[in-house]
Chains A and B, each alone.
Chain A
Amino acid sequence: AQSVTQLGSHVSVSEGALVLLRCNYSSSVPPYLFWYVQYPNQGLQLLLKYTSAATLVKGINGFEAEFKKSETSFHLTKPSAHMSDAAEYFCAVSTTGTASKLTFGTGTRLQVTL
């Protein structure tokens, strides 16, 4: 069975600082991995996805993530945080089958301070 662990339920960074949100996965088959962002009172929006084409994946809003098979990790980074990045971030792994069922991590709330 697939699973996802997000380390740190809350992360606080200063505006302009590096953002690092951690995600580790467990999968018995090559995974498809996703990062989603959720702003208050909204649904989830796709930030980026890993589908085995390249280990470094670039997404929207300046975010990127690197797939490291040896570490079973897919950490999300952004070089310089903006106030508008404050949101909750979810890592997810896709299971096999005809439907792209996702298993989500428990989420990391990012706070950006002045």
Chain B
Amino acid sequence: NAGVTQTPKFQVLKTGQSMTLQCAQDMNHNSMYWYRQDPGMGLRLIYYSASEGTTDKGEVPNGYNVSRLNKREFSLRLESAAPSQTSVYFCASSGGPLNQPQHFGDGTRLSIL
């Protein structure tokens, strides 16, 4: 029972390089999310997709783009990586209604030099 799968688990980039973080869920959830986690700041929402075909900005969208490829997959792209984007990135999914909890992947640890 995989749940939410994120690839890669670790990545080191140089400033200015681009990269796509992949996320897939096998729970038939409608909604998917991308967060970043930084020390002392909790998790902050980057982008989310309420349903297949829709995406919306979260709290910290600058420097990122997303694609909801299909119901299962939701990718996050850094077009020109900056050191400030060094973080741990988490993908999550949920069934949608307010009282449904989000299920999280194990994260991608991204370092930008």
Contact = CB atoms under 8 A, between A and B. Distances in A.
B105 A43 contact: yes
Interface in A71-101: 90, 94, 96-101
Interface residues of B, number: 30
Contacts of A17: none
Given A43-B107, A45-B104, A99 B96 contact: yes
B101 A43 contact: no
B97 A100 contact: yes
B59 to A, nearest CB: 8
Contacts of A98: 31, 50-51, 96
B75 interface: no
Contacts of B107: 41-43
A15 B4 CA distance: 33
Interface in B98-113: 98-107
A32 B31 CA distance: 17
A15 B106 CA distance: 28
Interface in B66-89: none
B40 A102 contact: no
Interface residues of A, number: 26
A44 B6 CA distance: 13
A90 B31 contact: no
A9 interface: yes
Nearest to B31: A99
B25 to A, nearest CB: 12
A73 B56 CA distance: 30
A46 interface: yes
Contact of A104 (B43, B99, B103): B43
A58 B34 CA distance: 28
Nearest to A48: B101
A99 B99 contact: no
Contact of A100 (B40, B42, B90, B102): B102
A104 B42 contact: yes
Interface of B: 4, 31, 33, 40-45, 48-51, 56, 58, 90, 92, 94, 96-107
